Amino acid sequence: MNSFLEPFKNSLLFKVIIAICMFLFSLISNAQVEKSSELYKTLKSKDSIIFKRAFNKCETEKLAPIIAENFEFYHDVAGIQNREEFMNAIKQNICTNPGNYKREVVESSLEVYPLNNNGILYGAIQRGKHTFQEKSNNVLKTVGIADFTHLWILENKTWKLKRVLSFNHQPYTE
């Protein structure tokens, strides 16, 4: 192996490429906040309001305070929705039969990345996987899995969900 790298050991280009790779790796590996951090816990609780409370329990009145006025939802199956369309879809599709559908985050997949402007936190990206369950014969069965990315913005010291990407919907297999 040493003979393979020998011609490159004094190359400035090789050293620059290695330095860039190390820099990019450090950005990727250090950007996510710890699961014990306040930011992670806060956004996980906001995710719970959307899904455990509004989607799973049909407490849809919980949505309005945390959804930004200029909210956009991008779904790889259902298309694009604005704030009103998103909230109505939950009310009219999911909550016409409360308890028949459930969404759960895959705990090990949840990640949060802070967004700063000159050292001041202004938002965060939250991403992960979620599963979907449907009731069949009075039993909830996991039927699908997908990826999600949420863009949260601090507006007047309040976290608001501004953008959502829900994609890679697949049938669930164990």
CATH code of the domain covering residue 103: 3.10.450.50
pLDDT band at 32 (very low <50, low <70, confident <90, very high): confident
Please compute, for residue 56, the number of CA atoms within 13 A of its CA located in the half-sphere on the CB side.
Answer: 16
pLDDT band at 24 (very low <50, low <70, confident <90, very high): low
pLDDT band at 148 (very low <50, low <70, confident <90, very high): very high
Average pLDDT, the chain: 87
d(CA 67, CA 50): 9
Same-domain pairing of 136 and 165: yes
Same-domain pairing of 123 and 141: yes
**The two three-digit tokens of residue 7, written as one number:** 């011609």
Same-domain pairing of 56 and 121: yes
Number of domains in the chain: 2
For residue 29, pLDDT over 70 is answered with no
Same-domain pairing of 95 and 17: no
Q: The whole model's pTM is what?
A: 0.79
Candidates 124, 128, 104; CA nearest to 37 is 124
pLDDT band at 99 (very low <50, low <70, confident <90, very high): confident
Same-domain pairing of 104 and 23: no
Q: Is 148 helix (H, G, I), strand (E, B) or coil?
A: strand
Q: Which residue has the higher pLDDT, 28 or 168?
A: 168
Give the amino acid at 136.
Answer: S
**In 10 A of CB 57, how many CB atoms?**
14
Same-domain pairing of 25 and 91: no
For residue 11, pLDDT over 90 is answered with no
Same-domain pairing of 153 and 123: yes
Same-domain pairing of 82 and 101: yes
Q: What is the CA radius of gyration of the chain?
A: 21
The per-residue pLDDT for range 103-112, each reduced to its tens digit, is 999 999 999 9
Same-domain pairing of 84 and 144: yes
Check: CB of residue 33 under 8 Å from CB of residue 114: yes
Q: Provide the 8-state DSSP code for 34.
A: P
Distance, CA of 93 to chain centre: 22
Domain range for 94 is 35-171
Same-domain pairing of 18 and 90: no
Same-domain pairing of 109 and 158: yes
Same-domain pairing of 83 and 157: yes
d(CA 165, CA 81): 11
pLDDT band at 170 (very low <50, low <70, confident <90, very high): very high
